[in-house]
Amino acid sequence: MKQTEIILRAIGVLTETNALTRRIAQDQDAELDPAESQLGSLVTEVFPTVEVPADAGPTEAGQAVADAYLPAAISLVGAFAFLFSELADVHDAGRTDVTTASLLQDLALRLSRATDES
C-alpha cells in the first residue's frame, strides 16, 4: 500500500473516531463494534503476514517479525504524524472557521486529486 493510500485511510480512521467521540458524548450507552472499525481494517491491511521458519529460534523469529513490521509501522506512524501536523497548524493559526471534519475532508480531496494526477 502506498503512503498516500495509508494517509487517506488514516483520514478515514480520524474521521470515524471524531464522529464516534461526538456520538458517545451525546449517548454514553452507544455501542461500539471494534471489529467494524476502520483502524482495525487499516492495521490488518498494512501489516504483512509473517512466516517464521519452524526451526527458527526466538531471536530469529523476533528478527523476522521486526523486519516485516518495521516498514509498516513507520508508514502508519508517518501518516498519523502528518495528519496531526496539519491539524495542529490550523489550530495554532487560531482558525475557528475550520472544523476537524472539514479539514480532514479537504486533505482527503487534495490527496485523492494528487493521486489521480500521478
Q: What angle do CA 22, 89, 116 make, to 5 degrees?
A: 85
**Through-space distance between the first and last CA atoms of the chain, rounded to whole angstroms:** 15
Please state the pTM of the whole predicted model: 0.82
pLDDT of amino acid 83: 96
Residue range of the domain that includes 83: 3-117
Number of neighbours of residue 107 by Cβ within 10 angstroms: 19
Q: What is the pLDDT along the chain (118 residues), one digit of tens a residue?
A: 899 999 999 999 999 988 888 888 888 777 777 667 888 889 989 999 999 999 999 999 999 999 999 999 999 999 999 999 999 999 999 999 999 999 999 999 999 998 887 7
pLDDT of amino acid 35: 64
Domain count of the fold of the chain:
1
